[in-house]
A and B are shown apart, each in its own frame.
Chain A
Amino acid sequence: MTYITGVGLTSYGKHEGLTSLDLMSKAAELATADAGLKRADIDGILCGYSTVSPHIMLATVFAEHFGIRPSYAHAVQVGGATGLAMTMLAHHLVDAGVVKHMLVVGGENRLTGQSRDASIVALAQVGHPDYEVPLGPTIPAYYGLVASRYMHEYGVTEEDLAEFAVLMRTHATTHPGAQFREPITVADVMASKPVASPLKLLDCCPVSDGGAAFVVSREPSNAARVKIRGCAQAHTHQHVTAAPRLSELGAEISIARAKQASGIAISDVRYAAVYDSFTITLAMLLEDLGLAKRGEAASRVRPGYFSQDGQMPLNTHGGLLSYGHCGVGGAMAHLVETHLQMTGRAGNRQVRDASLALLHGDGGVLSSHVSMFLERV
């Protein structure tokens, strides 16, 4: 049995002058304090990667910098799925008694630490070096390809996808830490600059600076009792050229395994935190996870099903699309927000009931998936 005993999150956007280690430290400090722990209580560290400051031993670089000497430490790399993959690993290591308090941390000055072009070039390297990258694709193009096929097979429109950008922005307007807080409309999304068809600028998450962290512990260390009920992964491919057909993608496999591991059904879920690098990512994942019928996710957005006071509040901090995306920390913000909701600390964003939450992360081009259920006990 394991608990998420503390969470920490910086604002996302520009943090001029701060390094990846600075942002990781800020988030780690917040999470440790939130758990009611001291640095010396932390005996394990899992961290992600930084594209701005790559290092072959980032976890020990961070441990030294932060001032702890853990008995277990290393980095994890699964693209956008890294945050939840680290949480899953922390859950199993803590449950097995390897460590008592695992600090999970991610942070990067991705926006101010390098040019936006450099960031796009670095990320496009998830493509095949011989058979894809020479063609000049970008991450939005990889997802644009998937979107074109999804729209073709299920009759989803660009206006449907735009609904998700509007929803995430509406949520972000209520969070002071979000990178983008100006309300937008479907017409704004449709009129935004083309990036990689059918995706336009407002269908894409931004590049951000930021950091996020949490502590996974064997016993509750404070009043927050958020238990990891079960989690699972699925990895079907790396490159979009080698992806299976839409009906065989990994989200459906990982959620089925997570349901089995936890004994939880989708009908039990009260709050959802789902990876949203692009509007198409969110639309597809919601449907793959069973939170909407195939091709119908957008029609659930319009009447407010995924809104703060709806039946299934979703990414109430604004998601990657509007809170921001700083790499590994990006999707960790989803878990931080979920924890705040589950412990009644979300302030003006608080939902009625977040007693049981489903989280899902995706890395690569729908390549790597992690599904997880959290329960307040």
Chain B
Amino acid sequence: MQKPADWTTGVEAILYQSCGCCGKAQYFRRGFCAACGATGLADRRASGKGTVYATSIVARAATVETRAHVPYNIVLIDAEEGFRMMAHGASDLAIGDRVAARFTQFAGKLVPYFEKLA
């Protein structure tokens, strides 16, 4: 499979796949739809808007690179397109908050970072 041009490869974008057969939105990239098995998924670019599903502020990191960033907030976001993703977030985020993504550097890599929508 071709590598996606999204944050996992250093591009400022959140991509997901949309199944032409069952309509399911899929975040972890594969050559088929995990819900119905159909192939021929369409790559879509997400708006970056969503709702906070869960949060955990990491105070104890395990590597030299990540320890330089503590505390950092790991969040699960329900994207408005219908998939869930893990990302970083502002420390004041609460479950249910409406949020939008920007991008930041973390331990030498690009990562999505969500903040509360005004």
Chain A interface residues toward B at CB < 8 A = 117, 120-121, 124, 128, 130-132, 134-138, 140-142, 144-149, 152, 193-199, 239-242
Given the interface pairs A117-B62, A131-B8, A152-B95, the reply to whether A194 lies near B57 with Cβ below 8 Å is: yes
Asked whether B53 lies within 8 Å of A193 as measured between CB atoms, the reply is: no
- Pick 14 A–B contacts, CB within 8 A, sort by A: A130-B28, A134-B106, A135-B86, A136-B61, A136-B106, A136-B107, A137-B56, A137-B86, A138-B61, A141-B74, A142-B56, A145-B56, A194-B71, A241-B85
B60 and A149 contacting across the interface, CB-CB below 8 Å: no
Mark each residue of chain B from 79 to 118: 1 if its CB lies under 8 Å from any CB of chain A, else 0. Answer: 0000011111000000110000000001101010000000
A141 touching B56 in the complex, CB below 8 Å, given contacts A117-B62, A148-B95, A152-B95: yes
Q: Give the interface size bracket for B toward A.
A: 20 to 34
Of B28, B60, B71, most A-chain CB atoms within 10 Å:
B60
Q: Is B55 an interface residue (CB 8 A)?
A: yes
Contacts of B2 in A (CB 8 A): none
The 8 A-B residue pairs with the shortest CB-CB distance in the complex, in nearest-first order = A144-B56, A120-B62, A136-B66, A194-B59, A145-B54, A197-B57, A149-B54, A195-B60
Distance of A116 Cα from B80 Cα, bound (Å): 39
Cβ contact within 8 Å between B56 and A134: no
Other-chain contact of A196, B8, B60, B86 (Cβ < 8 Å): B60
Min CB distance A157 to B, Å, is 15
List the A side residues contacting B55 at CB < 8 Å. Answer: 145, 148, 197
Inter-chain residue pair count (beta carbon < 8 A): 107
Q: Which residues of A contact B109 (CB under 8 A)?
A: 134
For B58, the chain A residues whose CB sits under 8 A away are: 136-138, 140-141, 144, 195-196
How many angstroms between the C-alpha atoms of A241 and B27 in the bound complex?
Answer: 9
CA distance A149 to B85 in the complex (A): 15
**Is B45 on the interface with A (CB-CB < 8 A)?**
no
Residues of B within 8 A of A117 (CB): 62-63
Contacts of A149 in B (CB 8 A): 53-54, 76, 95
If A141-B56, A148-B95, A197-B55 touch, does A241 touch B74 (CB 8 Å cutoff)? Answer: no
In the complex, the chain A residue whose C-beta lies closest to that of B52 is A148
A241 to B75, CA, bound (A): 10
Give min CB distance, A97 to chain B, whole Å. 38
| Residue in B54, B63, B85, B107 whose beta carbon sits within 8 Å of that of A148 in the complex | B54
Residues of A contacting B8 with CB < 8 Å? Answer: 130-131, 134
- Taking A145-B74, A152-B95 as given, write out 6 further A-B residue pairs in contact, using a Cβ cutoff of 8 Å, ordered by the A residue number: A134-B106, A136-B72, A144-B56, A145-B54, A145-B56, A149-B76
Is B86 a contact of A197 with CB atoms below 8 Å? no
| A131: contacting residue among B28, B53, B62, B63, CB under 8 A | B28
Most buried by A among B69, B85, B86, B109: B86
- Contact status A145-B59, CB under 8 Å: no
Are A131's CB and B59's CB within 8 A? Answer: no
Contact B60 A240 (CB under 8 A): no
A195 touches B59 (CB 8 A): yes
B53 to A, closest residue via Cβ = A149
A134 to B54, CA, bound (A): 18
Given A121-B63, A152-B95, is A196 in contact with B28 using a C-beta cutoff of 8 Å? no
How far is A138 from B111 in the complex, measured between Cα atoms in Å? Answer: 16
> Which residues on B sit within 8 Å (CB–CB) of A138?
58, 60-62
CB neighbours (8 Å) of B53 from chain A are 149
Q: Which of B63, B71, B111 contacts A135 (CB 8 A)?
A: B111
Cβ contact within 8 Å between A193 and B60: yes
Which residues does chain B contribute within 8 Å of A146, judged by CB atoms? 54
Residues of A close to B28: CB separation below 8 A: 128, 130-131, 239, 241-242
The answer to whether A137 and B74 have CB atoms under 8 Å apart is yes
Tell me if B86 and A132 are in contact (CB < 8 A).
Answer: yes
Q: Considering the chains assembled together, what is the distance between the CA atoms of A199 and B53 in angstroms?
A: 17
Judge whether B111 and A134 touch: CB under 8 Å. Answer: yes
> Within the assembled complex, what's the spacing in Å between the Cα atoms of A199 and B57?
9
B59 touches A197 (CB 8 A): yes
A353 to chain B, nearest CB (A): 40
User: Which B residues are in CB contact (< 8 Å) with A140?
Assistant: 56, 58, 60
Residues of B contacting A128 in the complex (Cβ-Cβ under 8 angstroms): 28, 86
**Which residues of chain A have C-beta atoms less than 8 A from B95's C-beta?**
148-149, 152
Complex Cα distance, B14 from A366, in Å, reads: 27
Interface-central residue, A117, A136, A145, A242, by most chain B CB under 10 Å? A136
Known A141-B74, A148-B95, A149-B54: A135·B88 in contact at CB below 8 Å? yes
Q: Which residues of A contact B96 (CB under 8 A)?
A: 152
Whether A145 touches B76, Cβ cut-off 8 Å, given contacts A241-B27, A241-B85, is yes
